[in-house]
Amino acid sequence: MINMKISKRLKEISNFIDENDKIIDIGCDHALLDIYLKEKYQNISIIASDIHEGALKMARKNLEKHEMEDKIDLRLGDGLTVANPNEYNCIIISGMGYYNIVKILSDQSKLENANKIIIQSNTDVVKLRKYIIKLGYKITREKLVEDNDIIYTIIQFQKGIEKYDYRQIYFGPRLLENKDEIFNDYYYKKLLKYENLLLQLPKSNVISRLHHKRLIKIIKEQVK
Ligand SMILES: C[S@@+](CC[C@H](N)C(=O)[O-])C[C@H]1O[C@@H](n2cnc3c(N)ncnc32)[C@H](O)[C@@H]1O
């Protein structure tokens, strides 16, 4: 029985983790996800790191509150530089933007043993799918979660090759297989937004108009 409360978004991320994963949580901030995971799986190995001293201070306080000072390995530093590749096989990066995530994953020697990468990006999810697939990963699981009126995409990448068409890259291959209510709602709102934008775009802005028309077309094919 887990007796701590975390946000819906973090809880959904925790569902992507198995007991045997050796985790590094980059940008752990408060470390609430890591504490929750350690409560769920007592034997799980977790390195929780952050680039900001203030964040780690708060993480340390939270660890003390839950009597987990010796159970979660807190490290201060930039991205994957804080650990050796043999210390983890699962990378979690959540609540960051595209450029930061790409920067963290750009040193491929750090991905040697990273069989699983869990990403919840705040921006450019489509570009991230493309980037991480190019690193030699396939998308094995995806989930949309609504938390405080924001819809987040959580993606699990695992080592391997799988070919995707542009629709799968745009919507997510696993999300397309299971279009739930959140999916329809999310893309219906996007559709309205793009239709509105198109109305406002001047006729002279040919490239942008074409881009929006294409997006509207592919979204219309998918939403109910
Ligand atoms: C918005 S918080 C997200 C916290 C938590 N992962 C979550 O999803 O709720 C982003 C955290 O990432 C940290 N961060 C940003 N860039 C980083 C980097 N290159 N390496 C490690 N941590 C980083 C920030 O200091 C901040 O604490």
Bridge-based pairing of strands 150-159 and 116-121 is: antiparallel
Q: Whose CA is nearest to atom 24 of ligand 1?
A: 27
Alpha carbons 79 and 115: distance in angstroms, whole number:
17
Cα–Cα distance list, 184 to 119, 140, 150, 151 (Å): 22, 21, 14, 12
Domain ranges in the chain are: 8-162, 183-222
Is 18 exposed, middle or buried (CB count within 10 Å of its CB: 0-12, 13-18, 19+)? exposed
Mutate to test the pocket of ligand 1, among 56, 96, 105, 145 (most ligand atoms within 8 A of CB): 96
Alpha carbons 224 and 219: distance in angstroms, whole number:
10
Answer for the pair 42, 2: CB distance below 8 angstroms, yes or no: no
Which two tokens mark 15?
A: 């569902």
The reply to whether ligand 1 has any atom less than 6 angstroms from the CB of 29 is yes
Q: Taking the model in full, what pTM does it have? A: 0.96
Q: How far is the CA of 206 from the centre of ligand 1 (A)?
A: 39
Provide the pLDDT for residue 197. 95
Q: How far is the CA of 97 from the centre of ligand 1 (A)?
A: 9
SS3 of residue 119 by DSSP: strand
Provide the pLDDT for residue 4. 85
Q: How far is the CA of 59 from the centre of ligand 1 (A)?
A: 12
The reply to whether ligand 1 has any atom less than 6 angstroms from the CB of 55 is yes
Provide the pLDDT for residue 93. 98
3-state SS of 153-194 is EEEEEEECCCCCCHHHHHHCHHHHHCCCHHHHHHHHHHHHHH
* Each residue's pLDDT expressed in tens, for the chain with a length of 224 residues: 777 889 999 999 999 999 999 999 999 999 999 999 999 999 999 999 999 999 999 999 999 999 999 999 999 999 999 999 999 999 999 999 999 999 999 999 999 999 999 999 999 999 999 999 999 999 999 999 999 999 999 999 999 999 999 999 999 999 999 999 999 999 999 999 999 999 999 999 999 999 999 999 999 999 87
Which two tokens mark 165?
A: 């068409």
Report the CATH fold assignment for 8-162. Answer: Rossmann fold (3.40.50)
Answer for the pair 24, 91: CB distance below 8 angstroms, yes or no: yes
The reply to whether ligand 1 has any atom less than 6 angstroms from the CB of 50 is yes
Provide the pLDDT for residue 54. 98
Task: Output the CA torsion 28→30→31→33 (10° steps).
Answer: -90
Q: How far is the CA of 101 from the centre of ligand 1 (A)?
A: 10
